[in-house]
Structure 1
Amino acid sequence: MVWKTVARHLFSRAAPASVPDEELAKTLRARLEAAGQKRLGRALAIRHVAAGSCNGCELELRATQNLIYDLTQYGLSFTPSPRHADILLITGVAGVNMREAVAQARAAMPDPVFVVAVGDCAVDGGVFKGSPAVAGGADAFLPVDLVIAGCAPTPIQIIQGLLALVEANGEPDSPIVIGDDPMRI
């Protein structure tokens, strides 16, 4: 029985891997760097808190630092200390036991702070919604500024979300360009 399964997997063709658009990644890196420098005068620092995650979103977050996206050299970095962070990024189901850890991380961060919920579980509890061990998403802990839905969202979705957040909270007269249409906020 086991050998049939092994043989089937050995001789079956795997689905072709999706190839990321390197030009889109390069454009997003440049826009994020410019937005961070304009908004804060320095690079953006992110404090990540996994509040009961399956690690799918964490894999995608780490992919934003690989050779294709490589955001650390373009103004986006993860920091182990909340005291140096500008963005609190929450992944996972927001378990009730993690309420204190998220509150402590937010309290240690200097203002202005953006709170970002990444993944379906952090948005509303995902498939675990309704469980007594799940608070119901990151907004049960504190107000969320940006929601990046998906199970798990791709690195491009994460980058686009962070870029939109920083650009939207920039100077009031700064144009936001999405596609070919400039919009004023």
Structure 2
Amino acid sequence: MLDAIKDVVRKSSIHVCIVNCGGCNGCDVECVALLSPRYDLEQYGIYVHNNPREADVLLLTGAVTEQWKDNLKRIYDKAPEPKIAVAVGNCPISGDVFAQEGGHVNAPASNFVPVAAEIPGCPPRPNEILEAILAVGPQAIADRGREQK
């Protein structure tokens, strides 16, 4: 019974999980700002989870550090199909200021998991993050509907 209710709700909503791969947390602050009354993420049917097993969209923040190379792939694999990864900020896209010769940053994140969208900026504005989620999220819902048939 509970699973049936959960399936009904998930058919019309987007569930995201913020995954910090090592960085300054600037992008994390902007992602969390989406929960404030100013942006009210939930009015769009978007819900934030701490568990990747509940996520349709993984928001990747921070540069991929040495410790996160294997962890990122493992977390991506835990998310249910279909899943979409979005690189938030310059760090998962290019390593930005952390990408130095001989450093311990392994950018871009797309070397480890498929990335559907990239949001440049250091950090990007919350409305840009919201627009990206709304651009790729419906595709995850549509793909989920095809897989259930």
Q: Is the 8 A contact 2:94 2:107 kept in 1?
A: yes
Shift, 1:168, TM fit: 5.9
Identity %: 34
* Residues 170, 112 of structure 1: alpha-carbon distance in 2 compared, 3 angstrom cutoff: closer
The aligned length equals: 132
Matched, 1:102 2:72: yes
Write the letter of the residue equivalent to 2:46. Answer: L
| 3-state SS of 2:135 partner | helix
Q: CA deviation at 1:140?
A: 2.0
CA distance in structure 2 between the partners assigned to 1:116 and 1:159 by the alignment: 11
What whole-Å deviation, never above 9, does each CA across 1:11-62 have from its counterpart, x for those lacking one? xxxxxxxxxxxxxxxxxxxxxxxxxxxxx62311111110112011011101
Give 1:109 deviation, angstroms. Answer: 1.0
Which of 47, 50, 68 matches 1:77? 47
**TM-score, length-normalised on structure 1?**
0.66
Q: 1:65 aligns with which of 8, 20, 35?
A: 35
Q: Any idea what SS the aligned residue of 1:96 has?
A: coil
Distance in 1 separating the partners of 2:46 and 2:139: 17
Which position in structure 1 is the counterpart of 2:135? Answer: 164
Matched, 1:155 2:135: no
1:42 equivalent among 4, 8, 12: 12
**Residues 1-185 of structure 1 aligned to structure 2 (within 5 Å):** 41-130=11-100, 131-167=102-138
- Map Cα deviations across residues 58-105 of structure 1 (whole Å, 9 max, x no partner): 111011110111112431111111111101111001112111221121
- TM-score (norm: length of structure 2): 0.81
Unmatched tracts of structure 1, length 5 or more: 1-39, 172-185
Most deviating of 72-81 and 113-122: 72-81
Long gaps (5+) in structure 2: 1-9, 143-149
